[in-house]
Amino acid sequence: MNTLRYLTDPAMFEVVAPAVLSGLAIALACAVLSPLAVLKRMSFVGQGISHAALGGVGVVAILLAGAGGGALAAVVRNELFQSLVVLLFCAGSAWLIARLTERGATAADTAIGIVLVGAMTLGAILVQLARRAGGGGGAVRSWESLLFGDMLVVTWTDAALAWAVALAVLAAAWWFRRPMLFWAFDEAAAPAFGVSGGAMKHLLVGLLALAIVASMKLAGVLLATAMLVLPGAIALRLSRRLWTVVVLSLASGLLGVAGGLVASFELNLPPGGAIVAVLVLGYAAARVVPMPSLRGGGTEAT
């Protein structure tokens, strides 16, 4: 089996191990947010933020083009710095989406569409300008790699960053679990109990941005969205008990990543596409199971 060979051969292990570890971290970060994203109809927000990452790539490209040589160029070429720039751009896009949709000022789909196309256009223009200037555009990975991911470029630094993001997302989700769940299940009544709906929305889209940036290299910006939707959708098809849904979402995400990576190794498939294909099959299987009955009219919070 290719999987065993890759994981036992020292040379191959150095290539695939960062991707495997990154994939597990991504599964944890995305799966814990997925039920909330599905329940609050914020799945498309994840897609908007993921596409906004292309704008951040454009900013990196123009910085590389103008860095020249010396210490500044070394900083700009650092992978951690580039990831931070993309993360800040995604966080800014998430904040803008949440701001535009506050108090119904702009419809959610309209705000997401505006930010999505604006960020993608900015990214394309900046990459083209960087290529004309020389030195910047060529240092940025191809659009195909950015859109669909590339397991071979995942490094130990990426794996460490993915786990740092996963731990940050899990810590924030646990710390704010009560107000966030209150807002998720009864947004209208939340302000009367001291829970700010705007703050919870900003928190959720910020955590979505973190998870998406961590997903970019392995799953790609187009497929990262699926990691935020499918685990929660699978879990909500199988249960209506809150903590059961969370556990099922985490299990679906981890099994999806593990199964997708095995399929990628054995069948020589792109890892991002293979992971999402496994998750889609999981959702199709969950559709066969009868929907759990709703006692009391909604998802139980205990």
Domain ranges of the chain: 2-288
Assess whether pLDDT exceeds 60 at residue 293.
no
Please give the pLDDT value at position 146: 62
Select the more confidently predicted residue: 270 or 297: 270
Q: Angle between the 177-185 and 10-39 helix axes, to the nearest 10 degrees?
A: 50
Rounded to an integer, what distance in angstroms lies between the CA atom of residue 135 and that of residue 63? 10
Assess whether pLDDT exceeds 60 at residue 86.
yes
Q: Which two tokens stand for residue 48?
A: 């908007």
Do residues 53 and 216 lie in contact, with contact meaning Cβ atoms separated by under 8 Å? yes
Rounded to an integer, what distance in angstroms lies between the CA atom of residue 209 and that of residue 172? 13
Q: How far is CA 23 from the centre of its chain?
A: 11
Please give the pLDDT value at position 68: 66
Find which of 72-76, 156-160, 192-196 is predicted with most confidence, using mean pLDDT: 156-160
Assess whether pLDDT exceeds 50 at residue 125.
yes
pLDDT band, very low/low/confident/very high, at 69 (cuts 50, 70, 90): low
pLDDT band, very low/low/confident/very high, at 148 (cuts 50, 70, 90): low
Q: How far is CA 190 from the centre of its chain?
A: 27
pLDDT band, very low/low/confident/very high, at 296 (cuts 50, 70, 90): very low
**What are the backbone dihedrals phi and psi of residue 156, each rounded to the nearest 5 degrees, phi first?**
-65, -30
pLDDT band, very low/low/confident/very high, at 194 (cuts 50, 70, 90): confident
Q: What architecture (CATH level 2) is domain 2-288?
A: Orthogonal Bundle (1.10)
Do residues 215 and 227 lie in contact, with contact meaning Cβ atoms separated by under 8 Å? yes
pLDDT, averaged across the chain = 79
**What are the backbone dihedrals phi and psi of residue 293, each rounded to the nearest 5 degrees, phi first?**
-70, 150
Select the more confidently predicted residue: 25 or 8: 25
Q: Which two tokens stand for residue 176?
A: 């704010």
pTM for the complete prediction? 0.78
Please give the pLDDT value at position 131: 79
Rounded to an integer, what distance in angstroms lies between the CA atom of residue 68 and that of residue 154? 26
Do residues 275 and 27 lie in contact, with contact meaning Cβ atoms separated by under 8 Å? no
Assess whether pLDDT exceeds 80 at residue 3.
no
Buried b (16+ CB within 10 A) or exposed e, 243-276: eebbebbbbbbbbbbbbbbebbbeeeebbbbbbb
